[in-house]
Structure 1
Amino acid sequence: MKGGVSSYQISTKRRWKGFVIAVLGLVILSMLVPLVFLLGFHNGFHSSGFPSEQSSMSHNQSGHIEEIIDRLVPSKERVNIPIEEVPVRDGLNESSSTSHLLIDQRQGSLAKPAEDHVHKPSPPSHKVNVSIPVEVIHPPKTADESETLCEVRFGSYCLWRRENKEVMIDSMVKKMKDRLFVARAYFPSIAKLPAHEKLSREMKQNIQDFERILSETTTDADLPSHTGDRLQKMEAVIARAKSIHLDYNNVEKKFRQLVDLTEDEANFHTKQSAFLYQLAVQTMPKSLHCLSMRLTVEYFNKASLDYEASTIEKFTDPELYHFVVFSSKILASSVLINSTVANAKESRKLVFHILTDRENYYSMKLWFFQNTFKESAVQVLNVEDYIPASYNKMAGLSLPEEFRVTFQIPQKLKMQYKTEYVSVFSHSHYLLPEIFKELDKVVVLDDDMLVQQDLSSLWNIRMERKVNGAVEMCAVRLGQLSNYLGKNNFNSKSCAWMSGLNVIDLARWRELHLTETFRKLVHELEAEGTQYEAAASRASLLTFQDHVHALDDSWVLSGLGHDYELSVQAIKKAKTLHYNGNMKPWLELGIPKYKSLWLRYLNREDLYLSACNVNP
């Protein structure tokens, strides 16, 4: 078959053509498969194919997201958000930003971070089967607007305020006063607008209702029913007033006027409170006045009795322990003597000399005649019988003088202030050498003292030629009282000494003529324009300068009449307790936890106490 195409060649060409087509098909398929795979990954494999690969990719991505969240989210309180609520975008950066979303539980929505304020086109999202821990902002427990601003991310002060928040007493009354204050500020401006006459009437009615309620009650317990509804109406009226366009200069002026009036009222009540407080301290309660009057009347009904005949020999015996008490208060001096005798080892050696004024002399005589204190002896003297006729200013009994001193205590980060009551001798104390001429040594006790241990060892103290054995208060130096003491010469580093418990060497006193020194200092201070009462207390501090023998601090614990923070252990260890300050234990003002110690030595079953309804 020359010049023609054989059948073999034709079949060979056909096979080669088929092979080329097959190779081209494989090349095309090899290009399409990766493309399909990539498109499927990008779209989340929405097709039904490749189930195992889809699960594996989701698991790897969720694990990586959780790892990033653990790194970026601080260890605060977290919640788990269900899968349906959190759309997570593609890419690790988008996932990490989602982990910083803050959940505001007040609104039940997600708050976007600050960097997401710029609008960006979001790519298609898919749901990842993970729970994302996010920071929680707790809702406030109260409706106070300031609380809504206090979130954890704002710093440690908010945390401190929440942890140390105190429960407000009578919060409803205080809230009503606050709303009344605001309504009063807005009302004048609202009343000038004819278009809002209805709102003006409602506001006026609410103001009148609040003023009437607050004039009748000061505590939440006394508020009438439906007060909460009235408060809501007032708040609604105030909200409507705030929504109206007003001349806020007038509102501001009204607020300033109300603030000024409130400050003036607060200052008035502060001064009134201080006056009434001093009045309560200095005025004898009605029940105690009744007790003094009843005893005085009963004394004259029994005038034939000789009250001190059986113990008169003890009053001048220098071998016994002599205590001197300046007092015009029957209960105070009675508790003092009772506590001293109850804790004494040998009560028969104790002799008490009570120096009082003419007004209380007879009631004191009868009281201490009818009330015995074991084997001790009690003598009642009228101090006015021993005042020199030439010294008219010492007309009556003068009790120990107390004055308050406030001074700074340096601390590491700030200065703190502390208040102490310094108690010193009055001018009546300078009669001691003349009244007790037969005695060389006495112990002077203030009537606001309470004895807890035996005091006989006071007579064994070596005075080292000093006159006054007293507890010193070195927290107060004479230099700190320079403005108070005047132009007199004194050692500024000397400690102030305290009356309350004082061991007095009368022989040394007479030798140094300290009574004359005291009167000379008083005269000099009066010449500078100082009143006599103030001059006498200042002169007392200076008279005993360089003549004070410091007693151990364990003898006296002071402050039970003003200091609430004394420890129980310190009170138990102290030999005597001094109720210096205004809150005396026989007054209603007394500090309750200290008053119980004092009441332990008072016979409440006495008939005179019951008749006068004396119940300290």
Structure 2
Amino acid sequence: MLLFWFPPMKLKRDNLLWERPLSKIHTVTSEELLFQNKTGTERNENGMYQQNVPSSDENVKCYQVEFGSYCIWSEESKKIMNDSTVKRIKDQLFVARAYYPTIFKLQEMSKLALEMKQRIQDYEQMLSKVTSDPDLPKFVGEMIVKMDETIAKAKSCNVDCLNVDKKLRQLLDMTEEEAHFHMKQSAFLYQVNIQTLPKSRHCLAMKLTIEFFNSLSEDLLVLDSDKLEDPELRHYVVFSRNVISTSVTVNSTVMNSKDPEDIVFHLVTDQQNFYAFKSWFSRKSYKGASFHILNIEDFQSVSTNSNLGAQKLSSSEEYRISFSRNIKNTQVETTEYLSVFGHSHFALPDLLKNISKVVVLDDDVVVQKDLSSLWNFDLGGKVIGAVQFCEVRLGQIKEYVGEFSYDANSCAWMSGVNIVDLEKWRELDIGSIYHGLLQRFEGVNEESWRIGTLRASLLAFQDLVQPLPIEWIQSGLGHNYRITHGRIRKSMALHFNGNRKPWLHLSIPRYKKYWRKYFPRDEPYMAECNINP
């Protein structure tokens, strides 16, 4: 199996495309992998898995492979336009342009050629100013009638049909190329919207950082080390650069906890956002929960096995995986999103040296119920508890995984909400296993390193994942439009994995209320920086 990587903002897609956030609008990166699979399934509207129905529209499948998640957004966001008359005018113009070159060559039809030229110019001028029927001039009806008459005259002439046919084909090719260009342009702007750091978020981070240094106090710096390492308390870890999304994850956790004062949050960020995090989480009590803000760049020594990993925070890595299976000699594709631990997660035992068990939350998670059942969950000697994703098995991607020894029936698993036994992790030295695999897979640049993260993560935790009940965590709220509200309400936590993050304008509207419920509206900088949920 051949895998190809294209630069982040390049719109052409083939077997592999990595949609990586350029300015870290959110903490996950995206990567698109196309694997061959003969037994693919997909989730139905209730979040369960079902067999796919073959599609006869090959153009749609090619469109999805080329433009990825943009095509899903464009289909779901399509608006019905009042442009039936505009379309009719464009059709008339198309036919008139096809006949005009032939009519122009006929000397006896010079008057008709002049008439057609004038009609074409009038149409082109009008269409340059309008896109829908309400924008059309009042006399458009007369123009349509006159154009019909002109086209009828052209059709009645003794013309060479082959020339007209050739011109029609040329115009069709040009129109298709133009449509494809606009589609590429729209997909590019879609990616920019997803990947670019909004000015409002930059504004908030700067104001919080300035506030930290202007009002520097002992309260912001002194931490209760005994409490932060107390094994009797419940320790949560979030890797993030996004203070707002992290705030929603934290707020939803404490609001639904029976004993929020027994919660300790270890928030791991980078140097650029470190002081903004410290300022933000010192402003509110969060019902008595404690906070430990860590700068990943202060712990670079833990990542010495990978120079690339030591340079920046790498939280959950997200992949878009397309499966193809053969049904009655027809290739049918389905697409799922898979998120796994990023490079920085493998520094957990070193970041939290005196803690034996933690719950790791992604910053695109909203907690809806008390998570105490997670702490009582029996890991059965395994390292992590996670929702398994058995639509992706190692045997199905064996050509991608390589020659390493593995169980072909081993399922992939999802990050988002995970219980981690750090003592078992240290005992088995998972970090060294991961770094050893990563060094085998990675190349000399960041792109090949990130591509190797998926296989290294899957292989490092092979047979070390205890499945969590699938109904506990509902994933897919960042890409799946067909999740019912009943299914959502029953879930303990919601995972907005996918490109459509709830803090983006491109989020899925019907799910946003679950995230907005915990949005920190009362913060003064929200209005100043024009941040709206």
Q: TM-score, normalised by structure 1?
A: 0.69
Q: CA–CA distance in 1 between the matches of 2:501 and 2:517?
A: 15
Q: Does 1:396 align with 2:312?
A: yes
Q: Does 1:222 align with 2:135?
A: yes
Partner of residue 438, structure 2: 522
Q: CA–CA distance in 2 between the matches of 1:464 and 1:450?
A: 27
Deviation at 1:598, TM superposition (A): 0.7
Distance 1:320 1:271, change over 3 A: same
Partner of residue 385, structure 2: 469
Partner of residue 342, structure 1: 255
Distance 1:292 1:167, change over 3 A: closer
State the SS of the aligned residue for 1:598. Answer: helix
1:448–1:579 contact (8 Å) kept in structure 2: yes
Distance 1:252 1:413, change over 3 A: closer
Mapping of 1:23-34 within 5 angstroms? none
Q: Does 1:558 align with 2:475?
A: yes
Deviations 1:92-125 (A, max 9, x none): xxxxxxxxxxxxxxxxxxxxxxxxxxxxxxxxxx
State the SS of the aligned residue for 2:456. Answer: helix
Q: CA–CA distance in 1 between the matches of 2:502 and 2:185?
A: 23
Aligned residues: 451
Distance 1:484 1:615, change over 3 A: farther
Deviation at 1:410, TM superposition (A): 8.1
Q: Does 1:580 align with 2:493?
A: no
Deviations 1:181-222 (A, max 9, x none): 222211111221222223222322222233233333333343
2:443–2:449 contact (8 Å) kept in structure 1: no
1:387–1:431 contact (8 Å) kept in structure 2: no
Partner of residue 102, structure 2: 189
Partner of residue 35, structure 1: none
Q: CA–CA distance in 1 between the matches of 2:290 and 2:508?
A: 31
Distance 1:484 1:237, change over 3 A: farther
State the SS of the aligned residue for 1:521. Answer: helix
Partner of residue 609, structure 1: 526
Deviation at 1:607, TM superposition (A): 1.1
State the SS of the aligned residue for 2:333. Answer: strand
State the SS of the aligned residue for 1:379. Answer: strand
2:364–2:501 contact (8 Å) kept in structure 1: yes
2:223–2:292 contact (8 Å) kept in structure 1: no
State the SS of the aligned residue for 1:381. Answer: strand
Q: CA–CA distance in 1 between the matches of 2:278 and 2:222?
A: 12
Partner of residue 302, structure 1: 215
Deviation at 1:310, TM superposition (A): 6.0
Please, which of 144, 147, 170 is the counterpart of residue 231 of structure 1? 144
Mapping of 1:234-273 within 5 angstroms? 234-273=147-186
Q: CA–CA distance in 1 between the matches of 2:293 and 2:101?
A: 70
Distance 1:427 1:295, change over 3 A: same
Partner of residue 446, structure 1: 362
Distance 1:260 1:347, change over 3 A: same
Q: CA–CA distance in 2 between the matches of 1:225 and 1:294?
A: 53
Q: Which moved more, 1:304-313 or 1:435-444?
A: 304-313
1:404–1:421 contact (8 Å) kept in structure 2: yes
Please, which of 171, 174, 181 is the counterpart of residue 87 of structure 2? 174
Partner of residue 568, structure 1: 485
1:468–1:503 contact (8 Å) kept in structure 2: yes
Structure 2 residue identity aligned to 1:335: V
| Structure ranking higher on relative contact order (CA contacts 8 Å, 6+ apart) | 2
Deviation at 1:494, TM superposition (A): 1.6
1:308–1:379 contact (8 Å) kept in structure 2: no
Partner of residue 285, structure 2: 372
Mapping of 1:86-485 within 5 angstroms? 170-309=83-222, 311-388=224-301, 390=304, 391-394=306-309, 395-408=311-324, 417-485=333-401
1:583–1:591 contact (8 Å) kept in structure 2: yes
**Higher Rg of the two aligned structures:** 1
Distance 1:569 1:193, change over 3 A: same
Deviations 1:305-329 (A, max 9, x none): 4315365432111111111001111
Q: CA–CA distance in 1 between the matches of 2:521 and 2:132?
A: 34
Deviations 1:427-464 (A, max 9, x none): 11000000000101001100011111100111111111
1:486–1:525 contact (8 Å) kept in structure 2: no
2:236–2:358 contact (8 Å) kept in structure 1: yes
Deviation at 1:498, TM superposition (A): 0.5
* Sequence identity percentage: 49
Deviation at 1:301, TM superposition (A): 1.2
State the SS of the aligned residue for 2:433. Answer: helix
State the SS of the aligned residue for 1:471. Answer: strand
Deviation at 1:237, TM superposition (A): 2.0
Q: CA–CA distance in 1 between the matches of 2:94 and 2:225?
A: 71
Structure 2 residue identity aligned to 1:392: N
Mapping of 1:49-60 within 5 angstroms? none
Distance 1:487 1:277, change over 3 A: farther
Deviation at 1:512, TM superposition (A): 0.7
Q: TM-score, normalised by structure 2?
A: 0.80
Structure 1 residue identity aligned to 2:307: N
Structure 2 residue identity aligned to 1:427: H
Partner of residue 516, structure 2: 599
Deviation at 1:408, TM superposition (A): 4.7
Deviations 1:43-72 (A, max 9, x none): xxxxxxxxxxxxxxxxxxxxxxxxxxxxxx
State the SS of the aligned residue for 1:216. Answer: coil
Partner of residue 413, structure 2: 497
Superposition RMSD in Å:
2.3
Distance 1:283 1:240, change over 3 A: same
Q: CA–CA distance in 2 between the matches of 1:450 and 1:287?
A: 22
2:247–2:520 contact (8 Å) kept in structure 1: no
Partner of residue 38, structure 1: none
Structure 1 residue identity aligned to 2:405: N
Partner of residue 70, structure 2: none
Structure 1 residue identity aligned to 2:215: K
**Structure 1 runs not aligned, ≥5 long:** 1-165
Q: CA–CA distance in 1 between the matches of 2:308 and 2:406?
A: 26
Deviation at 1:553, TM superposition (A): 0.3
Distance 1:405 1:196, change over 3 A: same
Q: CA–CA distance in 2 between the matches of 1:479 and 1:571?
A: 31
Q: CA–CA distance in 1 between the matches of 2:394 and 2:279?
A: 43
Deviation at 1:414, TM superposition (A): 7.8
Q: Which moved more, 1:414-423 or 1:275-284?
A: 414-423
Structure 1 residue identity aligned to 2:315: L
Q: Which moved more, 1:461-470 or 1:381-390?
A: 381-390
Structure 2 residue identity aligned to 1:519: H
Q: CA–CA distance in 2 between the matches of 1:596 and 1:348?
A: 27
Deviations 1:16-37 (A, max 9, x none): xxxxxxxxxxxxxxxxxxxxxx
Distance 1:413 1:448, change over 3 A: same
